[in-house]
Structure 1
Amino acid sequence: MGSSRLLVSFALVIMVAISYEPFPWMGVNASNEPTSCYHSCNQTFESRHQCYKRCEELAHKDGYKIYGYPYSTNTRRVLAVLHEKGLSYDPITIDLKAGDQKKPRFLSLNRFGQVPVFLDGNFKLTESRAISEYIATIHRSRGSELLNHKSFKTMGTQTMWMNIESFEFDPPASILTWEQSIKPMNGLKTDYKVVNVTEQKLEKVLDIYEERLRNSSFLASNKFTLADLYHLPNIQYLMETPTKRLFENRPSVRRWVAEITARPAWKKACDVKAWYDKKENK
Structure 2
Amino acid sequence: MSSYVAEKFKGSNGCDLLRTQNLKEAALVKTWMEVESQQFSPAISPIFYQLYIEPMRGGSPNQAIIDENSEKLGKVLDVYEKKLSSSKYLAGDFYSLADLHHLPYIYYLMKTPSAKLINERPHVKAWWEDISSRPAFTKVVPGLTLGEK
Please say whether Structure 1 and Structure 2 have the same fold, judged by a TM-score greater than 0.5.
Answer: yes
How far apart in 2 are the matches of 1:265 and 1:183? 30
Cα distance, 1:209 vs. partner?
0.2
1:188 to 56, 59, 65: 59
Q: Indicate whether 1:135 and 2:5 are aligned.
A: yes
How far apart in 1 are the matches of 2:30 and 2:124? 20
Structure possessing the higher radius of gyration over alpha carbons: 1
How far apart in 2 are the matches of 1:178 and 1:219? 25
Secondary structure of 1:146's counterpart equals: coil
The aligned residue for residue 81 of structure 2 is: 210
- On the 8 A contact 1:147/1:155 being kept in 2, the answer is yes
1:34-63: per-residue Cα shift (whole Å, max 9, x none)?
Answer: xxxxxxxxxxxxxxxxxxxxxxxxxxxxxx
Larger relative contact order (CA 8 Å, sep ≥ 6) = 2
1:267 to 124, 129, 138: 138
Q: How many residues align?
A: 143
User: Which runs of 5 or more structure 2 residues have no equivalent in the other structure?
Assistant: 145-149
1:155 to 26, 30, 37: 26
- TM (norm. structure 2) is 0.90
Structure with the bigger percentage of helix: 2
Secondary structure of 2:113's counterpart equals: coil
Opposite residue 163 of structure 1, the aligned amino acid is: E
How far apart in 1 are the matches of 2:10 and 2:143? 27
The aligned residue for residue 123 of structure 1 is: none
Opposite residue 11 of structure 2, the aligned amino acid is: S
Cα distance, 1:187 vs. partner?
2.8
Cα distance, 1:266 vs. partner?
1.2
The aligned residue for residue 223 of structure 1 is: 94
Opposite residue 190 of structure 1, the aligned amino acid is: P
Matches within 5 A, 1:1-282: 131-143=1-13, 144-272=15-143
1:234-263: per-residue Cα shift (whole Å, max 9, x none)?
Answer: 001100111100110000000001111111
1:107-129: per-residue Cα shift (whole Å, max 9, x none)?
Answer: xxxxxxxxxxxxxxxxxxxxxxx
- On the 8 A contact 2:7/2:16 being kept in 1, the answer is no
1:177-231: per-residue Cα shift (whole Å, max 9, x none)?
Answer: 1111222234321000111111110010000000000000000111111000000
* Root-mean-square deviation over aligned CA pairs: 1.4
- TM (norm. structure 1) is 0.49
The aligned residue for residue 43 of structure 1 is: none
Opposite residue 132 of structure 1, the aligned amino acid is: S
* Paired-residue identity, %: 36
